[in-house]
Amino acid sequence: MECVAGTTLGEFIIRQQSAFPDATGELSTLLSSLQRAARVVNREINRAGISDVLGSMEQLNVQGEEQQKLDWFANERFKEALAARGEVCGLASEEEEGFVSFSPVNTRPGKYVVLIDPLDGSSNIDVNISIGTIFSIYRRVSPLDGPAQLEDFLQPGCKQVAAGYIIYGSSTMLVYSTGQGVNGFTLDPSLGSFFLSHPNMRIPERGRIYSINEGNYQDFPTGVKRFIKHCQEDSPEQGRPYSSRYIGSLVADFHRNLIKGGIYLYPPGTNLPDGKLRLLYEANPLAFLMEQAGGLATDGSTPLLQLQPRTLHQRTPCYLGSRYLMLQLMKTLVEA
C-alpha cells in the first residue's frame, strides 16, 4: 500500500499490515519497540559530549575489541525494549557472547528472534562521525512452547522477515524492509517521531563510488586489487575514474552508497582470512536491504543471503553495491 512522504513510521507500519489480511500485528509491534529504543539511544548520542558516555569501558567485548560505553548503553536499551514485549523470544547481539532468551510476557510465546549490532562504528563517536544500529529479524524455528534455541539464530539471510538500520548523523534515519522494498524514515526530534522521507529507496544501477579501506591494499586478494585499479582508471561508461569514499563507519558508508550508488568492499586479508564483518549482525541485514533496493551482495563467490551460518559471531568477506559495479567485481574475482 502506497504511503506519501510525511507519513509517520507508526502509520506506515499499520497501513502495510492492513495489506495482509492474515497479519497478526506481532512484527509491527516488534518494529515499534525498535524505534522506541532508537529514540533513547539517539538522545544519549546527541548528549555524548556533555554526559559521561564517551570513551572505553576498559574491557574487551566478545569480539576481542575494546568495548565503548555507548556500545554497552545501546545494547542494554535495545535488549530492554525487546524483552518488554511478547513478540521476541530471544536476542543475539554483537556485544553478547551467547544469545539471550527472554521469558514469555503474559504467557504469550515470542514468535521472533532479533540479531543486532547495537552501535556500529561507536569508536567514531568521539570525533562526531555518523554511527548506527543494524538489526535483523527472523521467525523462530524451535517449538513455541519452549525457550529460544541456537538454531533460531543460525538461519541463512534469505530467511529474514525484516532487516534495517538506524543511522545517527546530521539527521537520524531508520531504514528498513520487510521484503516489500526499502523505506527510510527521518526522526523529527521536536516531535519524537519518525516520518517517511525516502519512500521506495532504490540504489542507482551503476553508481560512481567505491568504498574500501585502501590502507590494507597489500593484503587484498588479487581480484580485488585489479578491481580497485579499474576504478582508479578512466572508465568508458563515465569518462573518468570512480570516486573513492570511505568513512570507516559501516552504516554511514552503506547509507551513502544506497542513496548515491556505489560499491562497498571488505575483502579478506592476511590478518583477517575470513573477513572482518559479522555475517549475522552486519552482512546479512545489509545484504537483505541491498537486494531489496535492486543491488547485489556476495562474499566473493556466494550470495551472502545463501550462506549457512555456523556460529553466532562468524565473520565473512562482504561486497555490497550497485548491480553494474557488483557484476564487474565478480567478473574480476573469477578471472583473477
For the stretch 131-168, pLDDT in tens is: 999 999 999 999 998 999 999 999 999 999 999 999 99
Residues above pLDDT 70, as percent of the chain: 89
Task: Confirm whether residue 244 is marked as ligand binding.
Answer: no
Task: Confirm whether residue 94 is marked as ligand binding.
Answer: yes
> What's at 246, amino acid-wise?
Y
Top-tier CATH class for 9-198: alpha beta
Q: Is the pTM of this model over 0.85?
A: yes
Q: Give ranges for CATH 3.40.190.80 in the chain.
A: 209-335
Task: Find, among 209, 228, 214, 186, the residue nearest to 295 by Cα.
Answer: 209
pLDDT beneath 50: ranges in the chain = none
Q: Give ranges for CATH 3.30.540.10 in the chain.
A: 9-198
Burial 200-220 (b: 16+ CB within 10 A, else e): ebebbebbbbbbbeeebeeeb
Task: Confirm whether residue 121 is marked as ligand binding.
Answer: yes
Task: Confirm whether residue 265 is marked as ligand binding.
Answer: yes
Task: Confirm whether residue 9 is marked as ligand binding.
Answer: no
**Beta strands 88-93; 100-101: pairing state:** antiparallel
Cell, residue 220: 587484498
Helical spans, DSSP H, in 88-240: 150-153, 222-232
State which CATH number among 3.90.1150.10, 3.40.640.10, 3.40.190.80, 3.30.930.10 fits the domain covering 209-335: 3.40.190.80
Task: Confirm whether residue 123 is marked as ligand binding.
Answer: yes
SS3 for 158?
A: helix
Task: Confirm whether residue 274 is marked as ligand binding.
Answer: no
Task: Confirm whether residue 169 is marked as ligand binding.
Answer: no
SS3 for 146?
A: coil
Query: What is the pLDDT, as a whole number, of residue 121?
Result: 86
Task: Confirm whether residue 229 is marked as ligand binding.
Answer: no
Burial 156-186 (b: 16+ CB within 10 A, else e): bbeebbbbbbbbbbeebbbbbbbeeebbbbb
Task: Confirm whether residue 276 is marked as ligand binding.
Answer: yes
